[in-house]
Amino acid sequence: MDYTDEVWNALRTLRERSPLVHNITNYVAMDVSANALLAVGAAPAMVHALEEVEDFVAISHALVVNIGTLSPEWVEAMRRAADRAVALGKPWVLDPVGAGATRYRTQTARELAARRPTVIRGNASEILALAGGVEGTRGVDSAHGSDDAVAAARALAGRLGCVVAVTGAVDYVTDGARTLSVENGHVMMTRVTALGCSATALVGAFLAAHDDPVFAAAAALAVIGVAGEIAARDSEGPGTFRQRLLDALYAMDHAALAVVRIAEH
């Protein structure tokens, strides 16, 4: 099946709605995530104070929680924001950055994962750590391929009642029953910081534009993957690549999406 039209329709809806995406994310990812959201057509906001985080969820269309540079006060803000999103029926996405690297990080990721996220997006090591299988992640790097984590992702999705997206050379998105694979992207994306975090942010934006969270997540990963493929064509390195990826997100049209490779797995 060719998903090009459905991805394009989701992207058009996203641009029409220009969803306000509330991010509680790490310091490294803030700039590029905000720019990726703006480029794709969403409206980003970064808000973390306990004094306002629940109020801000109430005016947002989706919440993105990323534990990259976590600390106890920020984690408390993440908890409150997640609980408010669930209470209000708004989609929220968890990026368990570095789960498995330290006990604190793994425990925090698991605790947040239990708060009914709509989607969890991580690399194989992070998903395996969340699922309880492994330790020994090297921070944001994945020591495992995404193929290794598909079974764990399915089990985790079934147990938590959410969608799990495990990304890598091939991305897999599953709700425990159905699984989509996404084969877009470029290896240069691993040489720019926080593009995984930006992918998570785009998942948040697409959740505000499409009712099926499995497809919304796959569409987001396909769109940023295609942007990466376009950017790699004439980039000399990761510096110019990052800027061209943002350009490509902005210019993304139906024709460019012809290379979308989403499949039932």
Residues at the interface with its own copies (CB under 8 A): 20, 22, 26-28, 30-32, 34-35, 38-39, 43-52, 55-56, 59, 68-73, 98, 101-105, 138-141, 190-194, 235-240, 242-251
Task: Report the residue number, 62 or 218, with the smaller CB distance to its own copies.
Answer: 62
Q: Which is nearer to its own copies, 118 or 190 (CB)?
A: 190
Rounded Cα distance between 134 and 125, Å, is 8
Q: Residue 9 or 18: which CB sits closer to its own copies?
A: 18
| Comparison of 38 and 263: residue with beta carbon closer to its own copies | 38
State in angstroms the smallest separation of the CB of 222 from its own copies: 19
Shortest Å, Cβ 109 to its own copies: 12
Least spacing, CB of residue 212 vs its own copies, in Å: 26
Spatial distance between the Cα atoms of 146 and 150, rounded to a whole number of angstroms: 7
**119 beta partners:** 93, 163
Angle at 108 between CA 105 and CA 112, to 5 degrees: 140
Q: How far is the CB of 73 from its own copies (least distance, A)?
A: 8
Nearer to its own copies by Cβ, of 139 and 161: the residue is 139
Give me the count of residues in the chain: 265
| For its own copies, the closer CB: 70 or 164 | 70
Output the smallest distance, CB 93 to its own copies, in A. Answer: 18
Report, in Å, the least distance between residue 137 CB and its own copies: 9
CA–CA dist 176, 161 (Å, integer): 8
Q: How far is the CB of 75 from its own copies (least distance, A)?
A: 9
Nearest residue (CB) to its own copies, 39 versus 150: 39
CB 151 within 8 A of CB 177: no
Cα–Cα distance for residue pair 250/259, rounded to 1 Å: 17
Give the relative orientation of helices 195-207 and 4-17 as an angle to the nearest 10 degrees.
80
